[in-house]
Chain A
Amino acid sequence: MVQQLDKVDVVTVGVGWTGGIIAAELAKAGYNVVGLERGAEQKTEDFLQTKDELRFDSRYELLQNLSNETVTFRNTPDMTALPMREYGAFQLGTGLGGAGVHWSGVTWRFLPYDFEIQSQTVEKYGEDKIPEDMALQDWGITYEELEPYYDTFEKTAGISGEENPFGGFRSDDYPTPPMKETPALRLFKETTTEMGYQPFMAPSANPSETYTNPDGKRINQCQYCSYCSRYGCDFGAKSDPIVTVIPTALETNNFELRTYSNVTEVLHEDGVATGVRYTDLTTGVEYEQPADVVVLTSYVLNNARLLLQSELGQPYDPETQTGSIGKNYCYQLEFSGQGFFEKQYNMHMGAGALGMAIDDFNGDNFDHSDLDFLHGGWISLRQGGRTPISSNAVPAGTPSFGREFKEQSIYQFFRMLSVGTQGASLPNVNNYLDLDPTYTDKLGNPLLRMTFDFHEQDQNLARYLAEQIEDILTEMGASDIAVNKDLGNFDIEPYQSTHNTGGVIMGDDPETSAVNSYLQMWDHDNVFVVGASAFPHNGGYNPTGTVGALAYRAAEGIEEYLSNGGGQLV
């Protein structure tokens, strides 16, 4: 027996950064909003006395329990996809705040180039520069149009940073000054300056000073304690949804949060969504929550999955390259090189987003005329705080266990520095998401199937970025430098990056995209799909800054939709 509930203005599926932003903005505007979150409630108090590497970094306590739900994976459409049984290349968040609780906090703006990548590439290099199997698209919005929303998100989150010399126009400075420069960061800064590059401090949601945002929410000064990525912050010093937008929404009394509420279907009739069906995971009881507007604000992968499961929009077909749900699934070329030094650096101290960056090899900041790839990536030395279980780097040739390993792994613990990159991931017609025909979740619904591999574009870009990393480490004076220049096939096993993007992409054409520039579905005016699922490709940066900006724009669109009595916003 499905229980019917009273209609509300807005229902969000998932309550992390995007659900929190949508809820806060609409609840502040006086609309009643219900947030359905399938995980547990959590707050800063949950993280006190839990600086515990084994529990959070090795055993992934904050991540989704894969026994309930995972994804299946294959490299190519002719393979049989198999479930990701354990973590894992990427790490799925769970619970209130989602992955926004265990993130590192690096908060970029994408380059103006990213939003117009297709047209700028054709204009500058000609159509032949784009390989036939690369589904490169403009985003249906320009950087200038998105800029005010970037500014809003940065102010909500209290981002610390200094201006990117290659970045687009900024209407204002970062709300807080850059984080502290450490000896290791300084070495990277001095070296890259000598090499003719333009280093600057990476933008960070670990605020350099205590900050109160425009909603009156306080984020404490980062203590550089190192328990950041994969942890919740015990000091309220990492900007996340549970210390910012979610309490902002709750304080209005217009927002009702329901935890352990797992949405299984968006209900719809004749092109109009009527609400959602969800299961209370504590009782097994099913509910229907009617709403004027349904907003999908779960993680990238679940946004696509729920649309496919609900038969909303047209699924992407790689054979005919038609349809849009599941299309342009992209990732990140995230890797690093390492080198060893005589000096000991205090690398156990740090913060998730503490880093010195160069953007000289990102986007189209360098000429691609004679290069066999497009785009690039930011390159950096980051100091996230090294922990003893996970960091046992030894020079090449050292055995992986035994006396020499022990000696070297201890001796080198503070003497290894790594320089890394996050390369852009451009779409390929054979990289996509759909539903798995075999494997199901705990409730019996099909798992999402990911078909993804690295293609020639990725191999060539990764090799180029690896060469830059090697040059920088050499100039820094490292010995025993190890940089892998061969990306190989995508392998789901080693951790790489939780920067999954695409599947419900935005654009200016209903034929080639699923949502418009307000993230409103082209074929269902009252459904908005918010998140990195909207990225037509992934830039050479961490995605959350752009996710936050798009969420603020979507919130504005939803408000306009509700106050104007419906219709397409674009």
Chain B
Amino acid sequence: MAEKKTGKPGTHQQEGITRRTFIKNTGLITGGLVSGGLLGGLLGNQLGTGTDTETSTEEHGHGATHRYEEARMFFKRQGDFRVLEMVTETIFPEDGNGPGAIALGVPYFIDRQLAGNWGSNTRDYMQGPFEEGTDTQGYQSSLTRGEIFLQGIRLINQISTSDYDEAFVDLEEQDRVAILTEFSEGNAEMRGVSSSRFFSLLRQAVLEGAYCDPLYGGNREMAGWRMKGHPGSVMSYLDVIQEEDFVEMDPVALKDHNH
């Protein structure tokens, strides 16, 4: 397992970074397309305000600073949201690689997504008549993603209390995994949608929250990208794409392009 730790990108801290290594790592200068203005903006964001990272690390540890964005737009009942939190952490747990779903902001990310276009299927064809169709005909439910999530999250807790005599948030990890496995295999009975479809939406939303641009509230401090070694939205790889060895880079987010 030791080899996994060596050469693993994204684990080093940002504090020690110099202007020179930042430029080298992002390949921005070598890319040849970035104007002085943009580069200046990037450096300003990445280096000039170097305390951002430290402050937020403290927040995680002690909750010293209020995150006013940590309130719900979609889920009305706090109990449902607590189940969602535990579900996301079960799907994407904190481990030696780094933070889990909760610390990455995934539950609030999902709450916001469900409150928006995605959660209400505004860009999908939702006219009737609705028929079940065959397995090859795709999604045919009249339920929106928001409705599916609400029903599914409540059913998860209901099954937990009936089968394990405990709320989902109090279950041991192996039991939480067992319940979610039943959902993923389509064995839980849902109305108007299969539990496997609910689970695949849920799993997809967790991965989105872990690895989206931080502007959406997930992937906090780009910690998801750092874990995975993905540098986000780098403008150019022109001069490094032929490198034989793996090229480590600090991640760049859309905020860094926006100045």
Interface residues of A (CB under 8 A from B): 48-54, 58-60, 65-67, 69-70, 73-75, 79-80, 82-86, 88, 180-183, 220-227, 235, 344-346, 348-350, 386-389, 392, 399-403, 406-407, 410-411, 413-414, 438-440, 489-493
Q: From residue B211, how far is it (CB to closest CB) to chain A in Å? A: 4
- Closest chain B residue, CB of each to CB of A492: B138
Chain B residues with Cβ below 8 Å from A50 are 254
Q: Is A235 a contact of B33 with CB atoms below 8 Å?
A: yes
The B218-259 residues at the A interface (CB cut-off 8 A) are 224-225, 227-238, 240-244, 246-247, 254, 257-258
- Across the interface, B136 reaches (CB within 8 A) one of A88, A223, A491, namely A491
Please, how many angstroms separate the alpha-carbon atoms of A400 and B92 in the complex? 10
- Across the interface, A348 reaches (CB within 8 A) one of B135, B137, B215, B230, namely B230
Please, how many angstroms separate the alpha-carbon atoms of A216 and B257 in the complex? 30
Q: Is A82 a contact of B211 with CB atoms below 8 Å?
A: no
Known pairs A346-B237, A407-B95; list 10 more (Cβ under 8 Å): A49-B257, A51-B232, A51-B235, A82-B131, A223-B237, A224-B236, A225-B233, A406-B95, A492-B138, A493-B138
The contact sample of 25 A-B pairs, CB cut-off 8 A, is: A51-B235, A52-B215, A54-B213, A59-B123, A69-B125, A74-B137, A75-B136, A80-B133, A82-B137, A85-B140, A86-B139, A183-B243, A223-B31, A227-B233, A344-B7, A348-B229, A350-B237, A392-B207, A402-B91, A402-B93, A406-B93, A406-B97, A407-B95, A411-B4, A493-B136
- Closest chain B residue, CB of each to CB of A385: B237
Q: Is A66 a contact of B123 with CB atoms below 8 Å?
A: yes
Most central of A51, A73, A75, A401 by chain B CB within 10 Å: A401
Query: Given A86-B138, A344-B246, A493-B139, are A402 and B177 neighbors across the interface (CB < 8 Å)?
Result: yes
Q: From residue A414, how far is it (CB to closest CB) to chain B in Å? A: 6
Q: Is A401 a contact of B184 with CB atoms below 8 Å?
A: yes
Q: Is B48 an interface residue (CB 8 A)?
A: no
Number of interface residues, chain B, beta carbon within 8 A: 68
Query: Given A388-B230, A402-B90, are A66 and B138 neighbors across the interface (CB < 8 Å)?
Result: no
Q: Is B83 an interface residue (CB 8 A)?
A: no
Q: Is B238 a contact of A223 with CB atoms below 8 Å?
A: yes
Please, how many angstroms separate the alpha-carbon atoms of A506 and B7 in the complex? 56
- Across the interface, A350 reaches (CB within 8 A) one of B203, B204, B241, namely B241
Query: Given A223-B236, A401-B180, are A54 and B212 neighbors across the interface (CB < 8 Å)?
Result: yes
Query: Given A67-B122, A85-B139, A349-B237, are A414 and B229 neighbors across the interface (CB < 8 Å)?
Result: yes
Please, how many angstroms separate the alpha-carbon atoms of A282 and B213 in the complex? 33
Chain A residues with Cβ below 8 Å from B184 are 400-401
Q: From residue A422, how far is it (CB to closest CB) to chain B in Å? A: 21
Please, how many angstroms separate the alpha-carbon atoms of A349 and B258 in the complex? 22
Q: Is A182 a contact of B137 with CB atoms below 8 Å?
A: no
- Closest chain A residue, CB of each to CB of B177: A402
Q: Is B61 an interface residue (CB 8 A)?
A: no
Chain A residues with Cβ below 8 Å from B91 are 401-402
Q: Is A348 a contact of B231 with CB atoms below 8 Å?
A: yes
Q: Is B228 a contact of A410 with CB atoms below 8 Å?
A: yes
- Closest chain B residue, CB of each to CB of A491: B136
Q: Is B235 a contact of A67 with CB atoms below 8 Å?
A: no
- Closest chain B residue, CB of each to CB of A68: B125
